[in-house]
Structure 1
């Protein structure tokens, strides 16, 4: 019996057709969304608020999974090592842009494609409701007078508390030396503050708003150069530390990422779904009016430019105060003009 072999061109054509068909059918099953921070924090809150709208646009389920640890390294690296097929996405934050200069990990978002920068939040420096600190000036004076004794809630190197501490340090004439107590996210940090286990914590505003409004914790300063309508009684940090204005506006951001070598049409499908989700009036109201952030909904070159600018501003800030292990120049990050 003689077997006839298909020509190579026919085999390649058939394979390409099958691959194209598979991608055209995307998504065919549930999509996993890794949140590299713990439950109750700003990233978790934003992710779980936007995902239902993206599910509607995709007509498929997106399963959120918290994988906290290592300043988001564990969760980010998990997605980084999964198949680039669009079934593992990352709801990431700013921290990953700082890994190389801080010596936290040997990767950053160069291994990913950003599908959308969701938005940027503000930061509030908060204390327990019964704290003796009534103003930001009092807290700073106490830290400077008794270095290494005041307990600050933290969530890891390069995260919101760390950068806020660095900005305060840069805006004072002395070393802002605190005793750091590390948690897996803003949520556990707030719980510790409610129990008076820490003296203060810089928090992303979204998970802190209701606690501030109810009086369970108090805000000493907003990391901005003016007060905000959402919390009109909380002063801007520049009231106490005018030099902080050099680094403002600053805040954490959230974005949607996939591995860089994910097929382009899959990226397009996911990007379209999240653009629709972030533009949904219900999510817009939540993020902008209830959580005190600013939705950005950036895609493509605009999204990448935003991340590059954020990385440059913050890495050079860390380097100038001695917090970065190596110069950003070693990674091709140019110093921002005017800094």
Structure 2
């Protein structure tokens, strides 16, 4: 029999559940950014987060933790409790860690709170170099093999993948100089410490507009509206077409085991933040294509990207282990 006391307790519990749900998060969140300050991932993370904080009603304390081509930050978030309070602000790199022999963890071990946008690559050079296009750069590399310096971010980074594409289309031999992200690499490029670097348009756009670096080509089958006058790589090297469209992407993840109500709260907040007009305008201006997807839709995108890029590296001879070993299907 239900007594008055029992009924009262049930009613109190029913009222308490929404309050408890609304009380999450219990403290500030930590957002670990995969790459260094000034790179594309950092730019996207710091532009998006204030809008997410407004929707979430809590602060997200951002930390740059580069290293290991993203493996250090991935491991840090993977080792954290599955409570949704530690977020990974990442890019595409972990999807290649297995085939490059860097790590055994990829985004299959995480829940995609939001795949924010996908980007386009651009090959930029030191502004004092005489090259006016990609063909001139390749001619210089061919005339001086092993002497032209390319800024890189390590195996699986955007420069590495685009370099593998270029080498598959027209064999080149350069000196790869590694940096902890596109931001430090672009700083070195401006200082003349490297000669050219493939980077995301998001990281390079302001430098290009200010004349601090020189764009040679966008890694896209057609020009990019945010960089008028910069030709696509296919203009000089049609062989690139088999790999395109291709580009980096940016997103936010938590551990896969995070409770469903917490994941739903994060998805809602990041979806609202990514839809903010000021943020979407910034992303368009930097040459990014908004996605704003989560859950199963994001998982499908991530698996497709992994399939295409892993097999690209395998065919170019840049993979250390075959995608077949990990059950990654051919695209």
Measured against the shorter chain, the TM-score band is over 0.9
CA distance in structure 1 between the partners assigned to 2:322 and 2:149 by the alignment: 29
| 1:328 equivalent in alignment to 2:323 | yes
Give the match for residue 259 of structure 1: 255
Over the aligned positions, Cα root-mean-square deviation in angstroms equals 1.6
**Closer, same or farther in 2 for the Cα pair 1:193/1:113, shift >3 Å?**
same
Give the match for residue 128 of structure 1: 126
CA distance in structure 2 between the partners assigned to 1:115 and 1:331 by the alignment: 24
User: Please, which runs of 5 or more residues in structure 2 have no aligned partner?
Assistant: 1-14
CA distance in structure 1 between the partners assigned to 2:126 and 2:195 by the alignment: 7
Give the match for residue 303 of structure 2: 308
Give the match for residue 28 of structure 1: 26
- Report deviation, 1:186: 1.1
CA distance in structure 1 between the partners assigned to 2:22 and 2:324 by the alignment: 42
- Report deviation, 1:327: 1.1
- Report deviation, 1:24: 5.4
| 1:49 equivalent in alignment to 2:47 | yes
TM-score of the superposed pair, with normalisation by structure 2: 0.93
CA distance in structure 1 between the partners assigned to 2:182 and 2:269 by the alignment: 28
| 1:109 equivalent in alignment to 2:107 | yes
| 1:189 equivalent in alignment to 2:185 | yes
Residue 40 (structure 1) aligned to one of 24, 35, 38: 38
Q: Is the 8 A contact 2:31 2:86 kept in 1?
A: yes
CA distance in structure 1 between the partners assigned to 2:93 and 2:36 by the alignment: 14
TM-score of the superposed pair, with normalisation by structure 1: 0.91
CA distance in structure 2 between the partners assigned to 1:21 and 1:90 by the alignment: 27
- Report deviation, 1:149: 1.2
Give the match for residue 228 of structure 1: 224
- Report deviation, 1:20: 9.6
| 1:214 equivalent in alignment to 2:210 | yes
Question: What secondary structure does 1:211 align onto?
Answer: helix
Question: What secondary structure does 1:102 align onto?
Answer: coil
Give the match for residue 9 of structure 1: none
- Report deviation, 1:22: 5.5
Give the match for residue 71 of structure 1: 69
CA distance in structure 2 between the partners assigned to 1:234 and 1:257 by the alignment: 33
Give the match for residue 14 of structure 1: none
Question: Could you give the per-residue CA deviations for residues 27-69 of structure 1, whole angstroms, max 9, x where no partner exists?
Answer: 1210000001100000000000110011000111011110011
Q: State the aligned residue count.
A: 317
